[in-house]
Amino acid sequence: MTDHWFEPMASHMGRAYLRYSFTKGTVQEVDFLMSHLNLRPGQRVLDVGCGPGRHAHELARRGVVVHGIDISHEFIEIANEDAVAGSTFERLDARLLSEATHLRNFDAVICLCQGAFGLMTAQGDDETVVKGLADCLRSGGQLALSAFNGYFAVKYHVDATFDALSGVSHEVTEIRNSAGETQQVDLWTGCYTPRELRLLLSHSGFSVISILSVEPGHYEESVASVESPEFLVKAVKN
């Protein structure tokens, strides 16, 4: 397992991650994804960068068969502790998906909330992750991928430093664990424009169907704009 800066941060937060406001809209996000991807009970979905399993658990409650992967040992333990029927989890680095031959022929792959994709940009591994997502899908399988909006980051991230050359936003912030203990951490998150997302996905064997402007907990059919913190991409494997 390759080291990554996110892993010790996730270990410190543990279940406290689920107290953050951006996790409170999970049901709405899954409602939207079920419709947006036309998911049906019995279909197989891979949740990449699943964290403590909040999307995977909710999808499984709708009858979808979900397998979640995450680089964090702590998050996978929590996901397994809370697992519902139809959801399974394993610790796996998303950069190794192309080598994970047991993860193939999924009907859909989701990669949300910078769960793996955006967190790999600073190390130059975002393309590796996208190629791995494609390898896990059957032909015609669908991808739902969220990414930080580069325009929004430049306009509104006043407490972060945006590197124009790499497209990475760097922020120093404070996180808290379940015991209330704080820890100062560095966050490096990749930010993208719709054009960059189209080019990256096309290069990895996807056809982009739509790119929407969304907010965590409020996914909707909204045209891409400068004013949303995230983009949600829907793509199909060629």
Within-domain flag for 133: yes
pLDDT band with cut points at 50, 70 and 90 for residue 153: very high
Domain of 11, CATH number, reads 3.40.50.150
Extract long-range pairs of 222-227: CB within 8 Å, 24+ residues apart: 224/194, 226/149, 226/151, 226/152, 226/155, 227/152
Contacts of 201 (CB under 8 A, 6+ apart): 130, 143, 145, 208, 233, 235
Query: Quick one: average pLDDT of 59-77?
Result: 96
Within-domain flag for 23: yes
Contacts of 16 (CB under 8 A, 6+ apart): 175, 176, 177, 178
Q: Please state the domain count of the chain.
A: 1
Q: What local confidence, expressed as pLDDT, does residue 2 receive?
A: 53
Q: What local confidence, expressed as pLDDT, does residue 233 receive?
A: 98
- What is the total residue count of the chain? 238
Whether pLDDT at 78 is above 60: yes
Are the C-beta atoms of residues 135 and 235 closer than 8 Å to each other? Answer: no
pLDDT higher at 178 or 224:
224
Query: Quick one: average pLDDT of 99-117?
Result: 94
Asked which of 85-89, 163-167, 175-179 is least confident by mean pLDDT, the reply is 175-179
Range of the domain at 58: 6-148+192-237
Within-domain flag for 223: yes
Are the C-beta atoms of residues 189 and 22 closer than 8 Å to each other? Answer: no
pLDDT band with cut points at 50, 70 and 90 for residue 118: confident
Are the C-beta atoms of residues 157 and 111 closer than 8 Å to each other? Answer: no
Query: Quick one: average pLDDT of 93-110?
Result: 97
Per-residue pLDDT tens digits for 195-219: 999 999 999 999 999 999 999 999 9
Query: Quick one: average pLDDT of 156-166?
Result: 91
Are the C-beta atoms of residues 170 and 161 closer than 8 Å to each other? Answer: yes
Which phi and psi angles does 230 have, rounded to 5°?
Answer: -135, 155
Beta bridge partners of 161: 170
Are the C-beta atoms of residues 227 and 202 closer than 8 Å to each other? Answer: no
Q: Residue written as tokens 């036309």?
A: 38
Whether pLDDT at 3 is above 80: no
Whether pLDDT at 123 is above 80: no
What percent of the chain lies above the pLDDT cut of 70? 98
CA 13 from chain centre, in angstroms, equals 18
Within-domain flag for 160: no
Within-domain flag for 54: yes
Q: What local confidence, expressed as pLDDT, does residue 17 receive?
A: 83
Within-domain flag for 171: no
Within-domain flag for 210: yes
Whether pLDDT at 4 is above 80: no
Within-domain flag for 55: yes
Are the C-beta atoms of residues 168 and 95 closer than 8 Å to each other? Answer: no
